[in-house]
Structure 1
Amino acid sequence: MRKLENSELDRKSVEDFKEAQKTPITIILDDIRSLNNIGSVFRTADAFLIEKIFLCGITAVPPNKEIHKTALGATETVEWQYCETVLEAIEIARNDGAIIAAIEQVEGSKSLEDFEVEIGKKYALIFGNEVFGVSQEAVENSDFCIEIPQLGTKHSLNIAVSAGIVIWDLFAKIRIL
């Protein structure tokens, strides 16, 4: 086996990315404080052709040197919008036809492994603050909540890790349909 050179990876140009058919997923970041987490989510969104990212509340916005360190240019490809509140982002996504899913541990949540996507539907995924998680008001305004199964001693995962897991899972399920 030989490791491939970057030139052999056949990646899209910025223009090709913007013209490409997107995966019907929008991401809503609810008061994310870490610039590295924000950048990592942008990079994951680029990798899976995500439609858009909403940056809400205290979540920083590009251009930002610290976001760029982990985004590595994905802020130039992935569409994004700032909203003062998470409820504003939820309303915009819902008006665009998205089903709203908070990624949070709540009573009655759906386990990610059991979650089934619906053909032809758009999804808006809410990821929350590193300490407090998705806000209660966002949970209450979601159509349902998805929980990532965890078997260890910790109560949560890093938001960038959570985003990667959930986005990959939905991407894979959508591509099968």
Structure 2
Amino acid sequence: MKRIESIKNPKVKEWRKLHKRKDRDLTGTFFIEGFHLVEEGLKDKEMVNEIIITEEVSIPQHWKLDGINLTFVTTEIMKVISETETPQGIAAVCKQKLAVHPLNWSKTLMIDAIQDPGNLGTLIRTADAAGIDGVLLGDGTVDVYNGKTIRASQGSIFHIPIMKGAIGKWLPSFSERKVPVYGTALEGGEPFNKIKSSKDFALIVGNEGSGVQQDLLKNTAANLYIPIYGEAESLNVAIAAGILLYHLRE
């Protein structure tokens, strides 16, 4: 158990650096804050390197912290290292843990160049809720360990396997296993409800502005769209993914 009282302490600088992607990648760690996220992280204790807490906060009795470093800090330090306006007084440093390959996933969500961290976090949370086996983050996608992504996921980044890689590289492996891959597109697409649900499938959702890349859409079993019945121009990508994932799965 440690205690830090100065904002000039080197550890404080290290924690603040984790708000930048280059430092997260360099250290292989990321920063989370708030009771809910820390509790979700503790479900896989090997991922949690260190818990940071203010003296005014009580740790829930059911948390098992054996072998985990615990550091007490002042309220001022917690505000300095926090990204939220009203810190809950507890945070943690966790290890990055990405899946190696998606070859054994029967239900896969593939994300092509999503830029908004809130959208990515919500997509991961939605995939988790829908019982999807894993999420593949394609090139150009915002960092999964961005603070906004983590908070939007509501802890689902700890529940569902996530990997990074070029989507086009993995498409042949789905074909070899006879797993249909569905893209999302208005032009040349068909209404989603014409596709039957199945035990195995993969879904590609694309960039908020430009959608799924054309070279990926050319190699799918079908490209789907969700009809718009009102005056809205489009659906948010995470909302659309939720509709499609729940429809496609048996």
- TM bucket normalised to smaller: 0.7 to 0.9
2:212 aligns to what? 134
SS in 2 for 1:44: helix
Counterpart check, 1:167 vs 2:248: no
Matched, 1:69 2:147: no
* Residues in 1 aligned to 2:119 and 2:151: alpha-carbon distance in whole angstroms: 10
Deviation at 1:47, TM superposition (A): 0.8
In structure 1, how many angstroms separate the alpha carbons of the residues matched to 2:149 and 2:138?
15
CA shift for structure 1 position 130 = 0.2
Shift of 1:106: 2.5
Looking at structure 2, the residues matched to 38 and 74 of structure 1 have their Cα atoms a distance apart, in angstroms, of 11
How far apart, CA to CA, are the structure 2 residues paired with 1:50 and 1:86? 17
SS in 1 for 2:180: strand
Preserved CA contact (<8 Å) 1:28 1:89: no
Alpha-carbon distance between aligned partners in 2 of 1:81 and 1:95, rounded to the nearest angstrom? 20
Cα deviation for residue 148 of structure 1 reads 0.8
Unaligned runs of 5+ in 1: 1-12, 16-21
Partner of 2:135: 53
When structure 1 is superposed on structure 2, of 23-32 and 141-150 the one drifting more is: 23-32
Q: Alpha-carbon deviations, 1:1-26, whole Å to 9, x = none?
A: xxxxxxxxxxxx957xxxxxx99420
Report if the CA contact (8 A) 1:28-1:127 is conserved.
yes
- Give the structure, 1 or 2, with the largest relative contact order (CA under 8 Å, sep 6 or more): 1
Query: 1:6 corresponds to which residue?
Result: none
Change (3 A) 1:27 1:146: same
Structure-2 change in CA distance of 1:116 and 1:130 (3 Å): same
Q: CA shift at 1:144, angstroms?
A: 1.0
> Structure 2 CA distance, aligned partners of 1:81 and 1:137?
21
2:230 is paired with a residue whose SS is coil
Give the count of matched residue pairs. Answer: 150
Secondary structure at the counterpart of residue 227 of structure 2: coil
Structure 1 CA distance for aligned equivalents of residues 186 and 223 of structure 2: 8
1:1-150 map, 5 Å = 24-83=106-165, 85-107=166-188, 109-118=189-198, 120=199, 122-150=200-228
More deviation in 143-152 or 130-139?
A: 143-152
State the TM-score, normalized to the length of structure 1.
0.76
Partner of 2:22: none
After superposing on structure 2, the runs of 4+ consecutive aligned residues of structure 1 that deviate more than 4 Å are none
- Structure 2 CA distance for partners of 1:144 and 1:14, relative to 1, 3 Å: farther
Which has more radius of gyration?
A: 2
Q: RMSD of the alignment, in Å?
A: 2.3
